[in-house]
Amino acid sequence: MPHSTTQLWDNDLIRKHDLSGPRYTSYPTAPQFKPGFSDAEWLEAARTSNSAGTPLSLYFHIPFCDTVCYYCACNKIITANKSLAEPYVQALKKELTLQSVHVDKNRTVDQLHWGGGTPTYLSNDQMKSLMDETARLFTLKDDDSGEYSIEIHPQSVTPERLELLRSIGFNRLSMGVQDFDASVQKAVNRFNSYEEVNALIDSARALGFRSVSLDLIYGLPLQTAESFKNTLESVVQLRPDRISVFNYAHMPDLFKTQKQIDARQLPEPQEKLIILQNSIERLLEAGYVYVGMDHFALPNDELAIAQKNKVLHRNFQGYATHGNCDLFSFGVSSIAAFGSHFIQNHKTINEYYAALDQNTLPINKGLALTPDDKLRQKVISELICHFELEFSVIEEEFNINFRDYFKEELTSLATLAEDGLLQLSPKSITVNDRGRLLIRRICMAFDTYVNKTASNKASTPKYSRII
């Protein structure tokens, strides 16, 4: 585990390997999902999932926001008309009903997450009603031992609302802070003060929330190394259990709201690197564990403990602690992962509503994983979560000879080994400290889809840069 960026940082290597590539919240990644996935295929996946009998993870996508954050790349609906939330809550309940009848009630929900958008756009009554319906149709844990989390916008939540969230079962919070600098906040139309966040964290701890996570973004307009240093000092004082420091990817052709950002105000690439380096250095100094990529956690947080115990997992919400769960998802654009399938709902709310009006699942795309997909998924997961891979583990699980199966991949990794990003032995791959920053680049060596499309730029999905 690195204790200093001197073990991580090499500007020349970062520039050389800072390519565009997937974040590997799944493998295969979302661009590989195919239209035409049927209800019959969903039912077969659910039967397979029930046969495995693993615990459940439930994800709910709440797309509504009162105001637009210019940097946002999420699927969202910007409206101040709160009456639009009620039909959406009713649609979620209908989808819950349609799915739950095919899920074994003996399977407990170990993990639950509401994401957005802004989940707290819903009223207190709507949130309570949705959670009550979830508890009626699925087996939620009643002893507070599950990991039940919700994303909140600090400016839109009071300590009193936190009490409501805690009372309906949430025990973890994720707050999108992004930056405390007033000029940066104005440039991206996202406002939350240190005082507001501090009050919420104090209240969350008093109410017994087990973990509070703060999300920051580097690379926003008007950010400088000095200004972000001030934000980071404030965050360190708040002492959240987890911190994410995400790279802002300016892709206005893909995300229309980003066109409202003045690209001339974005920090230069070298300034971004300094911001990231300073951030890692400060968080390590403050006692946080560098989990990987853009995630940090206190040593006693379950995320750091899961990595230490080699049971860390990665899913569509990022690093997670419940890798043994099958993920069922609800809401517009949400993605599920169960029964060796990935399944994504319709991305527009009208299509989502139309399917439910016909009493059919609102499925837009899906993918049945091949044996090769599952093998590569395991390899990439081990590397991105634990930064090491014992070939024997893969060989025993998948009945292959690793060095023969991945002969080309290991040859391509030799260049990365020469650059000091990793160590190759006849029996294993070990990612060096400086390779942790570029772990996406290392994982790309095993991504058959990325490598197939690399020669055809017209068919290559647009990904953000690694750093």
Which tokens sit at 66? 């009162």
Q: 48-94: per-residue pLDDT in tens?
A: 999 999 999 999 999 999 999 999 988 899 999 999 999 999 999 99
28-329 CATH: 3.80.30.20
Q: Is the pLDDT of residue 2 over 60?
A: no
Confidence class of residue 453 from pLDDT cuts 50, 70 and 90? low
Q: Is the pLDDT of residue 167 over 70?
A: yes
Query: What's the confidence (pLDDT) of residue 81?
Result: 94
Query: What's the confidence (pLDDT) of residue 5?
Result: 55
Distance, CA of 133 to CA of 130 (rounded, Å): 5
- For residue 87, count other CB atoms closer than 10 A to its CB: 11
Residues 6+ away with beta carbon under 8 Å from 119: 60, 62, 127, 150, 151, 152
Measure Cα distances from 343 to 37, 61, 365, 367 in Å.
8, 14, 6, 7
Q: 101-127: per-residue pLDDT in tens?
A: 999 999 999 999 999 999 999 999 999
Query: What's the confidence (pLDDT) of residue 307?
Result: 93
454 SS3 class = coil
Query: What's the confidence (pLDDT) of residue 148?
Result: 97
Does residue 279 contact residue 232 with C-beta atoms inside 8 Å? yes
Which tokens sit at 419? 């650059």
Query: What's the confidence (pLDDT) of residue 462?
Result: 72
Q: 371-389: per-residue pLDDT in tens?
A: 999 999 999 999 999 999 9
Confidence class of residue 269 from pLDDT cuts 50, 70 and 90? confident
How buried is 156 (Cβ within 10 angstroms: 0-12 exposed, 13-18 middle, 19+ buried)? middle
Delimit the domains of the chain by residue range: 1-27+370-467, 28-329
Q: Is the pLDDT of residue 457 over 60?
A: no
Residues 6+ away with beta carbon under 8 Å from 288: 243, 296, 297, 298
Q: 202-240: per-residue pLDDT in tens?
A: 999 999 999 999 999 999 999 999 999 999 999 999 999
- For residue 395, count other CB atoms closer than 10 A to its CB: 15
- Diameter of the chain measured on Cα atoms: 62
- 225 phi/psi in degrees, rounded to 5: -60, -40
Query: What's the confidence (pLDDT) of residue 10?
Result: 74
DSSP string, 26-76: SSS-GGG-EE---HHHHHHHHHHHHHHT--EEEEEEE-EESS--TT--S--
> Do the domains at 1-27+370-467 and 28-329 have one common CATH topology?
no
Distance, CA of 416 to CA of 53 (rounded, Å): 40
- Type of residue at 332: V
Express as a percent the part of the chain with pLDDT over 90: 84
Angle at CA of residue 324, ends 59 and 37, nearest 5°: 55
Does residue 24 contact residue 314 with C-beta atoms inside 8 Å? yes
Query: What's the confidence (pLDDT) of residue 1?
Result: 53
Query: What's the confidence (pLDDT) of residue 315?
Result: 85
Which tokens sit at 194? 């240190």
Selected from 1.10.10.920, 3.10.180.10, 1.10.3210.10, 3.40.710.10, the CATH number assigned to the domain covering 1-27+370-467 reads 1.10.10.920
Q: Is the pLDDT of residue 3 over 80?
A: no
Distance, CA of 125 to CA of 170 (rounded, Å): 15
How buried is 268 (Cβ within 10 angstroms: 0-12 exposed, 13-18 middle, 19+ buried)? exposed
Residues 6+ away with beta carbon under 8 Å from 70: 187, 188, 189, 190, 257, 258, 260, 261
Which tokens sit at 214? 């703060």
136 SS3 class = helix
Measure Cα distances from 466 to 149, 188, 216, 346, 398 in Å.
27, 22, 16, 28, 30
Measure Cα distances from 442 to 37, 98, 383, 405 in Å.
31, 40, 8, 17
Query: What's the confidence (pLDDT) of residue 6?
Result: 54
